[in-house]
Chains A and B, each alone.
Chain A
Amino acid sequence: MTQILLRQDHTGQCLSFGQYCDAGGFEALRTALGGMSPNDVQQAVIDSGLRGRGGAGFPTGKKWSFVPRNLPGPRYLICNCDEMEPGTYKDRVLLEQNPHILIEGMALTCYALGVEHAFIFVRRGYEQAAANLRTAIGAAKQAGFLGSDILGSGFSLQLDIHQSAGRYICGEETALINALEGIRANPRVKPPFPAVKGLWGQPTVVNNVETLANIPAIIAHGPTWWKGLAATPEAAGTKLFCISGHVRNTECFELPLGTPLGKIIDGPCGGMRPGSTFKACIPGGASTPYFTREHWGVAMDFDPVAKAGSRLGTGGIIVFDQNTCMVAATLNLTRFYARESCGWCTPCREGLPFLVHTLEKIEQGLGTESDPDILREHVHALNYAFCALAPGAMGPVEGLLRLFEDELREHITKGRCPFGD
């Protein structure tokens, strides 16, 4: 099994710049600047089939191709390291181990897009990741991989870090752009999409940390090799799966994209922890509908997970055992979204607290027969929110209604939570 992203030195510490270079680091950048046109780099990424690792799975090369190259003024690249979706910590692990691969990936991306100024947007709490990045940027600059006229190619790049102050909505790409500009981070209307009109009104690409960290391997080894790292012919590349909840090993693993769910849990996760049996999991971060035992064989890749009724999302798998009340879990998730709603649009600002109230009632045994329908109406209505936060919040609620309706109704008919409190 090949890992291209997660690499530590032998003591488990962050890889040094020298260690990264000794292992072939920055060779892809040399190759690209030495003999590939920006368009060649973009074509390789298109051919690789790389899809965004930030949650939506949008094809990366295609996103890049939307950027107009003929508008006056600068273009920007922003690396999205907001990573605040509960159950997701892969970008932190990656940056604590190997910040250099992101820098090389960003340099390659900027070369492909004709970007000379890029930002890494880092969430609050990732101080170690930010410190690693700062050291890595310094080393790369000194070695001539950043700054002006990189490796004598005429291509220049300034790379800056923006450290945020904690708010989930900042991960939404247009809210992120506002945050970076120092404006209250409400989302912007789309279209225009950031690729055309983004940071300071200029064409801007926003990509996730893991997405960008995959670029060096695509350029160094070629798109065909990279694509072949996946577990199925339809999938492409590896994926960071970060695991939490009731399994033995709650760690971040780099696995072939398309590895079946059951193989992940029984394999690297070491199975359930003693005393626990599998009841359900969240397959891809807090905004994705639940999976149950019937989804054990689903290939963890974008399309198969979507076909099975959920989303691959961020790859954050949260596992629940037999003692977990799914109403209580959904209440916890909905509280998160209600708190993190930026308050900009009415369905999200008003709808989420009302859902919290309804779920609280049910969990306390005070639910009524009409409550499941109220939940169902909201799952539908919150799709009309201004941005994707509220629809994301409806993932678990929709899953609860579809997969655990009996458990939900039991709360109402018995007038109490069957799991106690």
Chain B
Amino acid sequence: MIPEQLAYDLQQRVKDAVTHREAAIDVLKELQRHYGWLTDEALAEAAQLLGLSTLQVEELATFYEMIYRRPVGRTVIHACDSISCWSMGGEPLLRHLEKILEVETGSTTADNAITLLPCSCLGNCGDAPALMIGEHLYGRVTPERAVAIIEQLRLGMPTKTTS
């Protein structure tokens, strides 16, 4: 169940849309923010809010890189593996992240804190290699900076986005 206020806000968003479906991505993102990932329950709630079938919502939910249809940790690190980052050491960085987090790409740390996922170009190619953590873009991430960023994440502290 979602809190009343969130339900009300989402109903408003749907009501203001040109057609109900136009609000679908906003609704999915808000529900994901609430649950941490898009659970089956969230999917059903989205369908109800949008006046769609769960299958229609599933078609959307499985399409986008940043909608999670499986459980993720409290924080998700997206590591860009596209060409500019690749040319600037993106692959060694990803291997380094796997090592310090003790996870394989695509999985979550044992304490459920961090999920490591590869992703397509983040539009930060001039500051390669790039990461996106939460809603923040990080650039010029050296292995040393990666260690510092993760330490700070674990302490729940704000991190610097560029070097």
Which A residues are closer than 8 A to B by beta carbons?
83-89, 91-92, 117, 123-128, 162-168, 179-185, 200, 242-246, 250-252, 282, 286, 316, 318, 320, 324, 329, 332-333, 335-336, 339-340, 342
Q: How far is the CB of B27 from chain A (nearest CB, A)?
A: 9
Which B residues are closer than 8 A to A by beta carbons?
18-26, 28-29, 50, 59-60, 63-67, 81-84, 86-88, 119-128, 132, 135-137
Q: How far is the CB of A394 from chain B (nearest CB, A)?
A: 15
Instruction: Let me know if B87 and A246 touch, CB within 8 A.
Output: yes
* Chain A: CB-nearest residue to B126: A250
Which of B81, B125, B137 sits near A242, CB closer than 8 Å? Answer: B125
Instruction: Let me know if B65 and A252 touch, CB within 8 A.
Output: no
Contacts A86-B83, A124-B65, A165-B25 given; does A250 touch B128 at CB 8 Å: yes
Instruction: Let me know if A184 and B60 touch, CB within 8 A.
Output: yes
* Chain A: CB-nearest residue to B67: A165
Docked complex Cα distance between A249 and B28 (Å):
39
Instruction: Let me know if A316 and B125 touch, CB within 8 A.
Output: yes
* Chain B: CB-nearest residue to A396: B83
Instruction: List the A side residues contacting B66 at CB < 8 Å.
Output: 124-125, 165-166
* Chain A: CB-nearest residue to B136: A127
Instruction: Let me know if B126 and A185 touch, CB within 8 A.
Output: no
Instruction: Let me know if A182 and B63 touch, CB within 8 A.
Output: no
Which of B83, B127, B137 sits near A87, CB closer than 8 Å? Answer: B83
* Chain B: CB-nearest residue to A89: B123
Q: How far is the CB of B29 from chain A (nearest CB, A)?
A: 7
Docked complex Cα distance between A293 and B122 (Å):
29
Interface centre among A125, A164, A250 (most CB of B within 10 A): A125
Docked complex Cα distance between A415 and B82 (Å):
26
* Chain B: CB-nearest residue to A331: B86
Which of B18, B19, B87 sits near A244, CB closer than 8 Å? Answer: B87
Contacts A88-B123, A242-B125 given; does A125 touch B137 at CB 8 Å: yes
Instruction: Let me know if A336 and B137 touch, CB within 8 A.
Output: no
Give the A-B contact count at a CB cut-off of 8 A.
Answer: 132
Instruction: Let me know if A167 and B63 touch, CB within 8 A.
Output: yes
Docked complex Cα distance between A179 and B137 (Å):
24
Listed by A's residue number, 7 A-B pairs whose Cβ atoms lie within 8 Å are A87-B121, A123-B123, A182-B24, A245-B87, A332-B83, A336-B82, A339-B120
Instruction: Let me know if A182 and B60 touch, CB within 8 A.
Output: yes
Docked complex Cα distance between A372 and B129 (Å):
31
Which of A89, A180, A320, A340 sits near B125, CB closer than 8 Å? Answer: A89
Instruction: Let me know if B60 and A318 touch, CB within 8 A.
Output: no
Docked complex Cα distance between A91 and B124 (Å):
11
* Chain B: CB-nearest residue to A342: B63
Instruction: List the A side residues contacting B22 at CB < 8 Å.
Output: 162, 180-182
Instruction: Let me know if A336 and B65 touch, CB within 8 A.
Output: no
Q: How far is the CB of A250 from chain B (nearest CB, A)?
A: 4
Instruction: Let me know if A250 and B127 touch, CB within 8 A.
Output: yes
Instruction: List the A side residues contacting B87 at CB < 8 Å.
Output: 244-246, 318, 320, 324, 329
Q: How far is the CB of B83 from chain A (nearest CB, A)?
A: 5
Docked complex Cα distance between A251 and B162 (Å):
14
Which of B25, B120, B126 sits near A168, CB closer than 8 Å? Answer: B120
Docked complex Cα distance between A340 and B82 (Å):
11
Q: How far is the CB of A173 from chain B (nearest CB, A)?
A: 17
Which of B20, B28, B88, B120 sits near A165, CB closer than 8 Å? Answer: B28
* Chain A: CB-nearest residue to B32: A165
Docked complex Cα distance between A250 and B139 (Å):
12
Instruction: List the A side residues contacting B19 at CB < 8 Å.
Output: 181-182, 200
Q: How far is the CB of A16 from chain B (nearest CB, A)?
A: 22
Interface centre among B25, B120, B137 (most CB of A within 10 A): B120
Instruction: List the B side residues contacting A182 at CB < 8 Å.
Output: 19-25, 50, 60
Instruction: List the B side residues contacting A117 at CB < 8 Å.
Output: 18
